[in-house]
Amino acid sequence: MESSIPESGKWKHLLRALVSEFCGAALTVYAFNFTTAYYQARAFAYFVGWLMAVSVSGAHFNPATTLGVFLSEGKYGKQVVRMLLYWLFQLMGAFAGVLITYLIFNEPVEGYLLWPLEQNPDVATRFFSESGNLYYAKICFLEALNTFTFVYVYLLVIYKPQLRTVDEIIKGLGVALTLWICYELSAGSGACLNPALAIAQVSYQVGFLNGMDYNGNRFASPIWCYIVFPLIGAIVAAVSFRVHIKLENSALKQDAGEAAVAE
C-alpha cells in the first residue's frame, strides 16, 4: 500500500506482498508462543520480519497496521481490495504460526495463553475482581492506546518526508523499539495489539484446553477486546497522522510565504 510498494494491479508484486504478510504474521504468532512475556524477543522477531518484508509489503503483519495505512493514504477505492487481501493472508499466516507451534511440540508452550497474567499477583489485582471476573474496560483501553501508539509511530516512520532518506534498518529498529515499549505498557493485559494474532491464538488455546478436559472456553471471553480495540486504535492513529501532516504542511507553506515576502 505504501507509496514505495507497487500497486495492486501488478499481480506479481501483489503476490510477493501477500506471501510476505503471510510469513510475517506466522512469525509473529510463532514468536508469541515461544517468548511468554519476553516482549523484547517478540519485538526483535518483528524486526527480523521487517528486514525481510518492508520493501515488499510494508511489513504490517497486523490487520490494525494495514487499516492504519489504508486510511492514511486515502486511496479507498483503489486499495480496499488490497487491504482485504492483506487481512486474509495475515489471518492465514497467524493460523500457520499456530500450526507450526503445535507440530513442533504437540503441547502448549510457555506463552500460549492470550490472557492477563493472573498468576502474577500484581497483574491479578489490576485485571480481575475478587470473584475472578475480568475488568474488560481496562483491557480494551490498553489495547486501543498501545495500538494507537504503535501505528502512529509506524506511519510517521514510513511517510514523514524528513525520514525518507533514513536507512530501512534504522527505521526498523525504531519501529521494533516502539513495539517493545507498547508491549511493556500493556501492563500484563495480554499485549496482543493484533486482531489476526487474537483470532488464531484464542482458537488454539481454547481448542487445546478443551481437548485436555479443561474449561478452555473461559479463555475466549476477552477475544473481542483483542480484535475490536486494536482496530479502533489504528483508526484514531490514522486520523491523527493525517491531521499531523496537514498541520505540518500548512506550517511549511506559511514559512515559505513569509520567506518570499521577506525577499
Cell of 104: 513442533
3-class DSSP state of 109: coil
Considering only 9-18, 67-76, 77-86, 137-146, which range has the smallest mean pLDDT? 9-18
The residue among 6 and 85 whose pLDDT is bigger is 85
Find the angle CA(45)-CA(29)-CA(229) to the nearest 5 degrees: 105
Q: Is the pLDDT of residue 95 over 60?
A: yes
Identify the residue whose cell numbers are 495505512.
69
* pLDDT recorded at residue 106: 72
Alpha-helical regions (H) of 10-75: 11-35, 39-53, 63-73
pLDDT digits (tens, 9 = 90+) for 180-228: 999 999 988 888 999 999 999 998 888 877 877 777 788 888 999 999 9
Q: How confident is the model at residue 3 (pLDDT cuts 50, 70, 90)?
A: very low
Cell of 231: 482496530
Please give the Cα distance from 190 to 101 (Å, whole number): 19
Q: Are 81 and 8 in contact (CB under 8 A)?
A: yes
Q: Name the fold adopted by 11-262.
A: Glycerol uptake facilitator protein (1.20.1080)
pLDDT digits (tens, 9 = 90+) for 131-160: 778 889 999 999 999 999 999 999 999 998
Query: Contacts by 172-178 with C-beta closer than 8 Å and gap 24+?
Result: 172/47, 172/50, 172/51, 172/54, 172/59, 173/47, 175/46, 175/47, 175/50, 175/150, 176/43, 176/44, 176/46, 176/47, 176/50, 177/43, 178/149, 178/150, 178/153, 178/154
